[in-house]
Amino acid sequence: MLNGLFVFVIVASILLAALTGRMEQLSQAVLSSAGEAVTLAIGLVGVMAFFLGLMRVAEDAGLLRRVARAIGPVMRLLFPDVPSDHPAMSAMILNISSNMLGLANAATPFGIRAMEELDKLNSRKGTASNAMVLFLAINTAGLAVLPSGVIGLRASLGSADAAGILLPTWFASGCATIVGVLVATLLSRLPYYRVSEPPGLPAKQVLEDKVSLSQEVANLEDTEFEGTRSKEISKRRWVVLAFWITFIGLFIRHILTTPTDASADDLARSIMSNWSLPVIIASLILYGWAHGVRVYDSLIIGAKQGFEVALRIIPYLVAILVAIAMFRASGGIDLMGIMVAPITTLIQMPPEALPMAILRPLSGSGAYGIMAEIMSTHGPDSLIGYMVSTFQGSTETTFYTLAVYFGAIGIVRARHAIISCLMADVAGILAAVFIVNLLFG
- For the chain, the farthest-separated pair of C-alpha atoms sits apart, in whole angstroms, at 77
pLDDT at position 273, please?
60
pTM tops 0.85, yes or no: no
Q: Distance of CA 320 to CAs 111, 129, 200, 398, Å?
A: 19, 21, 29, 11
Residue 413 backbone phi and psi in degrees, to 5:
-110, 100
CA dihedral 390, 395, 400, 401 (to 10 degrees): 140
For residue 144, the model assigns a pLDDT of: 74
| Residue 63 pLDDT | 74
- Closest by alpha carbon to 361, among 302, 425, 277? 425
pLDDT value of position 420: 92
pLDDT at 368: 74
Tell me, what's the pLDDT at 9?
85
Q: Are 236 and 293 in contact (CB under 8 A)?
A: no
- In total, the chain counts a number of residues equal to 441
pLDDT of residue 99: 76
CB atoms within 10 A of CB 434: 18
User: 261-271 in b/e burial notation, b at 16+ Cβ within 10 A?
Assistant: eeeeebeebbb
Backbone CA torsion sign across 85, 86, 89, 94:
positive
Amino acid present at 21: G
Residues 6+ apart with CB under 8 A from 181: 78, 134, 137, 138, 141
User: How distant, in Å, are the alpha carbons of 134, 344, 421 from that of 141?
Assistant: 11, 21, 7
CA distance 341 to 346: 9
pLDDT along the chain (441 residues), means of 10: 78 91 90 81 73 78 70 79 82 81 72 89 88 90 74 77 83 92 92 81 50 45 50 83 93 82 64 73 88 87 76 77 84 80 80 81 73 82 89 80 87 89 91 90 73
pLDDT of residue 135: 93
pLDDT reported for residue 433: 92
146: amino acid identity, one letter: L
